A and B are shown apart, each in its own frame.
Chain A
Amino acid sequence: MEEAKHAASIALENVTYRYSIGTPFEKAALQNISLQFEGGIITGLMGHTGSGKSTIAQLLNGLLQPTEGKVTIDGKDIWEDPKKISQIRFRVGLVFQYPEYQLFEETVLRDIAYGPGNMGLPQEEIQRRVADAAKFTGITPDMLEKSPFELSGGQKRRVAIAGVMAMDPEILVLDEPAAGLDPRGRKEILGGIRAYQREKKNTIIIISHSMEDMAIYADKLMVLDHGHVSRYGTAHDIFCHAEDLKRVGLSRPQITKFIMELQKAGIPVESGIYTVDDAYHEVLRVFGEKERG
């Protein structure tokens, strides 16, 4: 049997991050925060605007350096040798919000190949990776030869994500990868990220505001509140604390609220339903019905 691939875990240890240090605007975006993203799973990172999500994303791949504390991959400080921080950026891929504005190459193919090219990989390996990343992001072969600027916004988004996937990072951080996409686009992008994670068995962190999406696509959820971890666990652990979520500016999926209303109306459905699929099967169970072929 093939040996299970080791998946890297990444952590913040007592991290404080201040910006505009030495000016009257100096402010702590994060104050003594500790958290760990487990290896080999998809974690949904959620929190209200200003809760520190994007600062954390930039700390994880070394774009920002903690003012105090450490960022560690498998326990090892990424800033141990600051000269080698660019190596960390190959290991921790970061897809920004609205990454479609960052495309610049002449063709889609060259844009996706840019990252792996910078890593000094052989041509064959680059081609293999581009094809692989294109597969997970739904980029068709005819799109590869086009200019990124001929593509729609949703297609450009896929190219930008593919470009980071092609670097095959041990840890991939995506900031709102589905923001502004139509429902089908959301499903395709998030489904593609999940399929990619299941094949590579690497570590993925998705920043999102959508409880509905994260209930489906994330393995674990982490909720931030003013720069601290307010909860961490499975969808069940998170969504059973409705009051908590409300306090931090988030809410449970619409379907979860609906199931609670059914309970109140005297229909004995179980709580702990977070997706339409689960709700469907639970209602059938309570009614003693079976799905028709």
Chain B
Amino acid sequence: MEHQYIIEANNLCFSYKTEDGGAFPVIKNLSFAIEKGSFVAILGHNGSGKSTLAKLCNMILTPDSGTLVVGGVDVTRNDLSEDDIYQLRRQIGMVFQNPDNQLVATIVEEDIAFGPENLGIPPKEIRARVDDALRAVNMTEFARHSPTQLSGGQKQRIAIAGIIAMLPDCIIFDESTAMLDPIGRAEVMETIERLNREKGITVLLITHYMDEAIRADRVIVMNQGEIFLDDTPRRVFSKVDQLKSVGLDVPQVTDLVNRLRTDAGFSIPADILHSAEAVEVLKTLYQQKKLRIDREEK
């Protein structure tokens, strides 16, 4: 049966155990569902539970209570075999922050083959998957290079290729651009968007960069282990004061038009998201203003 959702969480709870025997709750009674093929950004201050949530979805961590359904299978059931868990983990890939901590082999294509080899895929198919994964991240020409010769952005793209070679349904990016320079960030973001659009891979993008989040279909804002906002980027980023109240920010252009609207009384819609829209609105306002001045002068 085809499921509409790749991940469904119901009343999920998770606490880290403290040394003195207590528990520190990080995820509090969380319920949400991620549609197949969607591109969802997850925002939240440091310690809001974003990364814990990612690790629960990827089954690195097990929830204390609640249910988590991945690809139609309840992973919180206790009768799952090792093999079931392997299969589930394969469906949800994860790319972490540090490009230097994720590559294992000395040659790029061997690194990408590492995952499928462990899944017991026949060599011929591995070859095809590696070639396909290299193409998907635009790194074919680096197949025989050593990862140490690559830039941060290139290393992250190889880490992504390693996951693609396992044919995942969903990839979780846990601040995967945080350590990259602006060009590296742009390369990785372009790759992420393309995988979502062209391969239909569901993307969960955990990030602190508001300009990355506006590219998603949906933005979930976490605060203190709970969902604070869950809506389209346009609607989420129109709530400037609410975002700032939980330690977040809005993209610079959104910040500017919001101040023009609230502090200087410009008649600008509250939900401007892209800079092209803001240019259009200000251009119209400016032309109206000039007309008014011209008339007054006559």
Contact = CB atoms under 8 A, between A and B. Distances in A.
Contacts of B30: none
Interface stretch (B65-73, B76-84, B247-255): B247-255
B283 interface: yes
Given A254-B251, A261-B275, A49 B45 contact: no
Interface string B174-190: 01001111111000000
A280 B260 contact: yes
A68 B210 CA distance: 44
B45 A182 contact: yes
B286 interface: yes
B23 interface: no
Contact of B180 (A49, A182, A253, A255): A49
Interface string A282-293: 011011111110
A279 B263 CA distance: 14
Interface string B83-127: 000000000000001000000000000000000000000000000
A266 interface: yes
B33 interface: no
B282 A262 contact: yes
B259 interface: yes
A50 B275 CA distance: 32
B153 interface: yes
A276 B255 contact: yes
Contacts of B289: 287-288
A180 B47 contact: no
* Chain A interface bracket (under 10, 10 to 19, 20 to 34, 35 or more): 35 or more
A275 B53 CA distance: 34
B216 interface: no
B152 A266 contact: no
Contacts of A50: 151
B256 A279 contact: yes
Contacts of B291: none
Interface in B261-298: 263-266, 275-276, 278-280, 282-283, 285-287, 289
A52 interface: no
A266 B283 contact: yes
**Cβ-closest 9 pairs across A and B:** A183-B249, A184-B247, A249-B183, A182-B45, A154-B46, A255-B252, A265-B283, A152-B47, A49-B152
Interface of A: 47-50, 152-154, 176, 179-185, 209, 211-212, 249-251, 253-255, 257-258, 261-262, 265-267, 276, 279-280, 283-284, 286-292
13 contacts: A50-B151, A152-B47, A179-B178, A180-B175, A209-B181, A254-B251, A258-B256, A258-B275, A267-B282, A280-B259, A286-B286, A291-B263, A291-B264
